[in-house]
Amino acid sequence: MNSTIKKDSPILQVIDLKQYFPLKKESFLQPKQVVKAVDNISFELFAGETLSIVGESGCGKSTTGRSILRLDEPTSGDILFKGISLPSLKKKDLRDVRGDIQVIFQDPYASLNPRRTIRQMLDEAMDIQRVLPKNKREERMLELMSYVGLRPEYLERYPHEFSGGQRQRLGIARALAVNPEIIICDEAVSALDVSIQAQILNLLKKLQRDFHLTFLFISHDLSVVRHISDRVMVMYLGKIVEIADKKKLFESPMHPYTKALLSAIPVTDKKKKNERIILKGDVPSPISPPSGCRFHTRCPFATVKCKEVEPLLRNLGPNHFVACHFAEELMQ
Interface segment toward ligand SF4; rule CB under 6 A; list 22-30, 55-63, 197-205, 296-304? 296-304
Q: Closest separation between CB of residue 252 and ligand SF4, Å?
A: 16
Least Cα distance to 64 among 32, 101, 31, 29 occurs for 101
Q: Which of 302, 313, 320, 321 binds ligand SF4 (CB under 6 A)?
A: 302
Q: Helices (H), strands (E): how many in the chain?
A: 11, 12
Given candidates 98, 167, 246, 296, which one binds ligand SF4 under the rule CB under 6 A?
Answer: 296
Tell me: does residue 246 bind ligand SF4 (CB under 6 A): no
CA distance 107 to 194: 16
Min CB(307)–ligand SF4 separation in Å: 8
Q: How far is CA 237 from CA 41, 135, 318, in A?
A: 11, 50, 25
Nearer to ligand SF4, 10 or 238 (CB): 238
Q: Kindly give, in sequence order, each residue whose CB lies less than 8 Å from that of residue 40, ignoring residues fewer than 6 positions away.
A: 16, 17, 18, 77, 239
Does 253 bind ligand SF4 (CB under 6 A)? Our answer is no
According to CB under 6 A, which one of 46, 215, 295, 321 is a site residue for ligand SF4? 295
Question: What distances in angstroms separate CA 266 from CA 41, 107, 281, one per listed residue?
Answer: 30, 26, 22
Single residue of 311, 313, 320, 321 touching ligand SF4 by CB under 6 A = 311
306 is an interface residue for ligand SF4 by CB under 6 A = yes
Tell me: does residue 103 bind ligand SF4 (CB under 6 A).
no
Residue whose CB is less far from ligand SF4, 218 or 254: 254
What minimum distance in Å lies between the beta carbon of 57 and ligand SF4? 20
Distance of alpha carbon 141 from alpha carbon 147, whole angstroms:
10
If one asks whether residue 256 binds ligand SF4 (CB under 6 A), the answer comes out as yes
Q: How many other CB atoms sit within 10 Å of the CB of residue 147?
A: 17
Give 3-state DSSP helix, strand, coil % of the chain, rounded to 5.
35, 20, 45
Give me the residues that bind ligand SF4 (CB under 6 A), please: 255-256, 293, 295-296, 299, 301-302, 306, 311, 324-326
